[in-house]
Amino acid sequence: MNLITLKELCEMLHISRRTIQCYEKEGLMVATNKNKYGHLLYDEKAVERAKTIKFFRDLGFKIKEIKGIIDASNDIKKEALENRVKELEQKKRKLEVIIKETRRLINELI
């Protein structure tokens, strides 16, 4: 049972202490334990949980939405992910359009 500290977890996932604190307050995850000094500790399962939450966040899901799908069936997860992929592709197309528009504007600003 390898336990890591909150700081190590944050460095591993490239997120802040406050972000993890937010996940915990919303009930999305819990620290595995505390050491004798009161420092928060996380085991591998907790680390995986945090990674999953971050993955959903990167996909643009809100914390409350994540609460609704992270422990749901594969069918529900799959549907949510498929819908999200469609939205992300929409977003990507919009990004491409605005990048082009901006390029044009930059050239006009010579």
Query: DSSP readout, 36-52?
Result: TT--EEE-HHHHHHHHH
Tokens of 45: 């399962």
The listed partner (a second copy, DNA, none) that binds 14, CB under 5 to 8 Å by sort, is: none
CB of 99 to a second copy, least distance (A): 5
Whole-number Cα distances in Å, 98 to 4, 16, 51, 58: 43, 31, 31, 21
Residues that bind DNA (CB under 7 A): 5-7, 15-19, 21-22, 26, 36-40, 57, 62-64
Q: Which is nearer to DNA, 15 or 69 (CB)?
A: 15
Binding flag, residue 8, a second copy (CB under 8 A): no
| Single-letter code of the amino acid located at 20 | I
Whole-angstrom CA distances from 15 to 9, 28, 67, 88 are 8, 16, 19, 22
Residue 19 binding result from DNA, a second copy, none, given CB thresholds of 5 to 8 Å by partner type: DNA
Smallest gap, in angstroms, from Cβ of residue 56 to DNA?
A: 10
Half-sphere exposure of 16 (CA within 13 A, CB side): 3
Enumerate binding residues for a second copy (CB under 8 A): 55, 58-59, 74, 77-78, 81-82, 84-85, 88-89, 91-92, 95-96, 98-99, 101-103, 105-106, 109
